[in-house]
Every structure is written in C-alpha cells, then in structure tokens.
Chains A and B, each alone.
Chain A
Amino acid sequence: MRLDLDAYVERRSPIHTWEARCKLVGCMALILAFACVQRLWLLPAMIGVTLIFYSFSRLPLSFLRHRLRYPGLFLLGIVALVPFVSGETVVWQWQQVTVYREGLEAVLLITTRFFSILTVALILVGTTPFLSLLQALRSLGLSPILADMTMLTYRYLYDVTENLATMQTAMQLRGGTELSPAAPRSRWWSRLRHVAALLGTLLIRSYEQSERVYKAMRLRGYGHPATTGAIARSPIPLSSWFTLMGIGAIALSFVVAELCLPQP
C-alpha cells in the first residue's frame, strides 16, 4: 500500500501559497456550488472553471489521471446502466434495448459534476500539507478529540499496515491461510477463522501499543489543560482574502444561475 499524501505540496503556485483556512473554505464552497448544478448549459462553465483552477495549481496531469481511476470505476457502473433504464424519450432502439434522452443527460450531468468536484478536491489536498489542512480544520472549529484522532491515526497507519503485512507473511510461512481466492476451497471455514484470528491479533497489538502511546503522551503533558487550550491563529494575508472572495463569487454565481436564471 502506497500512502503518498503530500507528494506535490512542495511545488510553487498561486494555489500552493493560498492560506490553508481560506483554501479550505473556498474549495468547499466551489464543491458545494458544483453539486448544486442541475442545468446542462452550466456544465461547460463548470469544466472551464475547473480546468483553469487546475492549471493555476501546477499539479501534473498524471496526478489527476491516477486519482480519477478508482472512483471512476464506480461511476462507470452508473454510466453504463442509466441511459438504458431511466427516462421516457426514446433516442435509439434495437429490439429490447432502448436508449433514453433523459438517461443520457443524467450521465452527462453526473460525469461532469464528478470530474469537477473531484478535481477541486484534488487541488485542495494536493497543494496543502496534510498537517496544515488539519490545523486549518482545527482553527475553524474541529473538535480537539477529532483532530487528535486524525493525527494519531495518520501517524500510526503506516506502522499498523506494516504490522499487518508482517503478520500475514508470518502466518503463511507457518502454513496458515493463504489469503487468495486461488487457494483450495475445501477449508473455507478454517480460512475464515484464521483471518478472524489474524485481525483479532492486529487489534490486540494496536490496543497494547495505544496504551504505551498514551503513557508516553501523558508524560509529555498530553491531556493537561495548558496543552489542550485554544490554538494559535496566525493572521491571514490580504491576498488570500481576495482569492477567497474571488472563488466565493464564482461559487455564488453558479448557485444563483442554477436557482434564479430561466432555462434557455
């Protein structure tokens, strides 16, 4: 498993230098505005804004291609099905197979919204270090329990994943279950029990490690009121405010166009 969260955060671009709190608010506003869009004539504008935003971020296209792949598979299921089962206006028919206009329009809408929202989300996480994003969330009011849990989970995810891989290898070397569908089917129940024991052991190890981690954190002052008080908020540069206002205006214009303008 490759965990490459901060691969492109060191690059230089106007989006990289945008202050994390403003970037978070601006990107979320744009994402929700894109989710509002139902009218097909707004889709070219949505793609245009997304592409301009992406080009400003100077993130490589390979990053976008790679990250679109997995969620795209789920979408493919809907794209392949909806035109044939949804709608009333027949566009094309051959024996029992019928393609509906409303279904095709729905596919266009879903795909464009998916592409635009995912791209904006990638710009947000691709140009901001994970810890800065967490700090921004914390300063915007995220609970300290949630912030600490996220940070510790991220910190120990690598360790736990390595632990699991080592335990799997050890189990296989001792003649235990091979976790592959190609393995013999006859001992399926015994394999399921072995996997349960493997994951149970992983949970126990993680639990014991958490006890040690908590003691170490306590010794460093964790849980003391002085260390869990209000967090320091650095001032936001004026340029970041202006960028936020610009992005906010774009997001608002999509919402207004969707809600107020008549259908052409």
Chain B
Amino acid sequence: MHIPDGILPAQICIGGYALTGLTAWFSLKQINRTPNPSEGVPRAALLTAAFFAASLLRIPLPPASVHFVLNGLLGVVLGYYAFPAILVGLCLQAIMFGHGGLSTFGVNAVIMGIPALVAAALFRSRDRLFPAQAHARWLTGVFAFLAGACGVGLAALLFYSLVILNLPAELNAQAEQAALTTLLVAHVPLTLLEGIFTALLVLFLEKVKPELLNQRRKTHVL
C-alpha cells in the first residue's frame, strides 16, 4: 500500500512531507515528555525490525496468500513510537526494495502512520471507556480487532483516494466514485482479516508477555 514515485504531483508530495513533519514533531514531543525518552529507542527499533520482517511474511488466504500491513498492531504496541517506527520502516523499504519512493515518502508516511496513531488511541480508549473491566480478555480482543481493522481500513481509504483523485488525466466524478467504492469494498475482507489477526496476536501477547502491551501504558500514554 505504498504510492510509487511519479504518480502524484509535487504539491501533494510537498503537502505529504509537511503533514509528516508535523505528525513526527507531535509524536517526538510526546516521547520527549517521558522521564527517559532514550529508554524506549532500542525497544522501538527492535520491534520496528520485527514488524518489518513480519510484514514480509505471506499468510495463506486460499486460494492465494496475502501479507499483513500491521500498522494497527504497531500503534497498539508502540503508541507514540509508532509514527517514527513507520518513518524508519518506510525509509528502509524505499531504499532496500524500492517499495514507495522518495518523492512520495511523506504521503506514504501519512497513509500508514496516521491510521497507526488512530488505532493506538482506539485501543487505549478501552481503559477509559471500561475501567471496571480492565482484565476482560474478550474486551481486549474486541478493541484489538477494531484497532487492527481501523489501521488498514483507514490506510486503504487514504491510499485509493489519493491515487484516484490525483491521476493526471481527469476521470469523471461518477467513474472516480465507482472506482473508489469498488476498491474499498474489495478491501473489506482484508480489513476484517487484519482485525482478526491483530486480535489473535494481542491476546497472545497479553497472555504470554503482558508487559509488552503495558509498557506502552506506562511510558507514553495516548
């Protein structure tokens, strides 16, 4: 879900860089408010590397296979570190594999990073909305599902809107709307699958290593 070079006009690319700069500044400001900001850096870096490797893994979805985006899960686990983590991941993907591009780096960061922050806030809202049920596993599963599905769903919406609305030759409004709706409807099964996968993974982490999820609550509250 990365926009390659050449498709978007310069105004959108520069706008993407500006929005990315603003969001990165906001995330780093929140990280710097913690007592020891450098403490989270190795953790965020190694988890970024793990997410990077995991996103290359193909999951069987008969009759084909897919790979997960995992930006919702990244938000759930890393909180405010998710946006810097996505910047790092996109930078390495652009340099190593040519996924995305340098001119569209800012736009791609917005497409992946802002949904990750929304997913993080959504998952975190569980504690505020249901304080009496802090240990209910089903509730953790539901919010993890919503975070995972929201991460990829929002990213797909941003991605297709930007690509279709910025093609150099004008599509007529009806064709644009039809294309956007078709592509988004086609993404619904993948969104649900990503939500289910995120829920399974978060429930696994809560059972085996709960501090990995609680760390986020301790160090950088969303």
Taking beta carbons and an 8 Å cutoff, which residues of A are in contact with B? 1, 3, 5, 27-28, 31-36, 38, 67-68, 70-71, 74-75, 78, 82, 85-87, 100, 102-103, 105-106, 109-118, 121, 124-125, 130, 143, 145-146, 148-154, 156-157, 159-161, 163-164, 168, 179-181, 183, 185, 188, 191-193, 195-197, 199-207, 209-211, 213-214, 217, 222-223, 228
Taking A145-B84, A192-B197 as contacts, is the C-beta distance between A86 and B167 under 8 angstroms? yes
Which chain B residues lie closer than 8 Å to A199 at the CB level?
50, 54, 57, 201
Q: Determine whether the beta carbon of B5 is less than 8 Å from that of A113.
A: yes
Taking A35-B103, A200-B201, A207-B209 as contacts, is the C-beta distance between A157 and B5 under 8 angstroms? no
Of the listed residues A1, A102, A157, the one surrounded by the most CB atoms of chain B closer than 10 A to its CB is A157
Q: Chain A interface: which of B58-66, B111-119, B123-131, B150-158?
A: B58-66
A-B interface, 3 closest residue pairs, ranked by CB to CB distance from nearest: A114-B6, A152-B45, A113-B6
Taking beta carbons and an 8 Å cutoff, which residues of B are in contact with A? 4-10, 13-14, 24, 28, 31-32, 36-39, 41-54, 56-65, 77, 84-85, 87-89, 91-92, 94-103, 163, 167-171, 175, 179, 196-197, 200-201, 204-205, 208-209, 212
Partner of B168 from the list A5, A106, A121, A209 (CB cut-off 8 Å) is A106
What are 11 A-B pairs at a CB distance below 8 A? A70-B99, A74-B4, A82-B167, A121-B103, A145-B31, A168-B57, A181-B62, A196-B204, A199-B54, A202-B50, A203-B47
Taking A86-B170, A192-B200 as contacts, is the C-beta distance between A149 and B47 under 8 angstroms? no
Chain B residue with the shortest CB-CB distance to A228:
B38
Which chain A residues lie closer than 8 Å to B64 at the CB level?
181
Q: Determine whether the beta carbon of B212 is less than 8 Å from that of A179.
A: no
Where chain B touches its partner, the secondary structure class is: helix
Q: Determine whether the beta carbon of A143 is less than 8 Å from that of B28.
A: yes
Taking A35-B8, A75-B4, A179-B59 as contacts, is the C-beta distance between A157 and B37 under 8 angstroms? no
Partner of B49 from the list A1, A27, A206, A228 (CB cut-off 8 Å) is A206
A181 vs B5: C-alpha distance when bound (angstroms): 31
- Report the minimal beta-carbon distance from A148 to chain B, rounded to whole angstroms: 5
Q: Determine whether the beta carbon of B103 is less than 8 Å from that of A210.
A: no
A193 vs B13: C-alpha distance when bound (angstroms): 39
Which chain A residues lie closer than 8 Å to B91 at the CB level?
150
A111 vs B117: C-alpha distance when bound (angstroms): 33
Partner of A110 from the list B50, B77, B95, B168 (CB cut-off 8 Å) is B168
Where chain A touches its partner, the secondary structure class is: helix
Q: Determine whether the beta carbon of A200 is less than 8 Å from that of B170.
A: no
Q: Determine whether the beta carbon of B201 is less than 8 Å from that of A85.
A: no
Taking A86-B167, A149-B85, A181-B61 as contacts, is the C-beta distance between A203 and B77 under 8 angstroms? yes
Q: What would 6 more interface pairs be, CB under 8 Å, given A161-B49, A202-B50?
A: A35-B8, A35-B103, A86-B170, A114-B7, A160-B49, A181-B61
Chain B residue with the shortest CB-CB distance to A185:
B62
Which chain A residues lie closer than 8 Å to B48 at the CB level?
149, 153
Q: Determine whether the beta carbon of B99 is less than 8 Å from that of A71.
A: yes
Of the listed residues B42, B57, B63, B88, the one surrounded by the most CB atoms of chain A closer than 10 A to its CB is B42
Which chain A residues lie closer than 8 Å to B32 at the CB level?
145
Chain B residue with the shortest CB-CB distance to A156:
B49
Which chain B residues lie closer than 8 Å to A117 at the CB level?
5-6, 101-103
Q: Determine whether the beta carbon of B62 is less than 8 Å from that of A214.
A: no
Of the listed residues B14, B39, B49, B54, the one surrounded by the most CB atoms of chain A closer than 10 A to its CB is B49
Which chain B residues lie closer than 8 Å to A31 at the CB level?
5, 102-103
Chain B residue with the shortest CB-CB distance to A150:
B88
